[in-house]
Amino acid sequence: MENSNLYVNVSVANIYGEAAFTSEVVTQALLGESLEVLKIEGEWAFVKQWDNYEGWINQFFTVTPNSEFLRRIDGNSKIIVGDLFGVVCKEPNSSSTIIRDLVYGNNLPILENKNEWMQVLLPNGEKGWTSVKPQDFSANDMRHYLVQEASRFIGIQYFWGGKSPKGFDCSGFVQTVMKSAGIHLPRDTQMQEDCVKLESIPYAKHQKGDLIFFSNNKDWVNHVAISTGGDKFIHCSGFVKIASFDKDDRLYDDQLSKTVTSVKSIKRRCH
């Protein structure tokens, strides 16, 4: 293989703990994402992602990248999808044949603009048109942005290993929201709690956008949420939702209120 990387060719691809669809989904990869291939076993590839997470992916979710895609994907003219969902059509109109679905975080080169439509290049070299809006982190207030962005996913259901609007787990939700603001965190909750990019602070000093970690087991952290300021936080448990530490609030979460382990500040990344 000339290029040691495969690129994801579908909106969301499951990555498994073993080289079998019957094994556990450990995480996901998104359209346009580069995966470092560590080894191949039949139809399966053992890969490493941008966050150093490793797992098995069936190669029918991926392609060896088209040469033009490879040349353009690291350029300035590309879109990181900001809409929760979207499509790529054969022609620049909504009645045209759909050739790929899109989700938040998908990454594709832009070839041409025509009114509200963009011609994009898929990893396999196929061209199509989309009218989705890009991610736009232009806010001066990162903390406000993070809470606003996290709130867009309210109602999205829980999915173990999930990190897209098709389903999140708690740490996948946090990683996805933070990445949109340029804060690149590890994949799992315990890894995020240990991340040196974040500073431990007392709960009383937390602000919007800071991370709150929970544990019902003294040996490991098993849940994470994003503070929305005050006593409220947003997290994925069953679905993405807002909860509260205030006993008088109808959103009060009794179980999580008793299991806060630590709070980590994002202030080092707010400059």
The reply to whether 178 and 261 lie within a common domain is yes
| Mean pLDDT, the chain, whole residue set | 95
Q: Which pLDDT score, from 0 to 100, does residue 17 have?
A: 98
Domain count, the chain: 3
Asked whether 109 and 72 are in contact (CB, 8 A), the reply is yes
pLDDT in tens, 89-105: 999 999 999 999 999 99
Q: How high is the pLDDT of residue 270?
A: 63
**pTM of the complete model:** 0.95
Which range marks the domain in which residue 11 is found? 5-64
Query: What are the pLDDT digits (tens) for 134-143?
Result: 998 877 799 9
Answer with the one of 64, 95, 115 that is the final residue of a domain.
64
Q: What is the mean pLDDT of residues 226-240?
A: 97
Does residue 137 fall inside a structural domain? no
Q: Is there a single domain that holds both residue 186 and residue 81?
A: no
Residue 13 counted as domain residue:
yes
Neighbours of 21 (CB within 10 A): 11
pLDDT of residue 261: 95
pLDDT tens figures, 42-90: 999 999 999 999 999 999 999 999 899 999 998 889 999 999 999 999 9
- Pick the range with the lowest mean pLDDT from 52-61, 63-72, 161-170, 213-222: 213-222
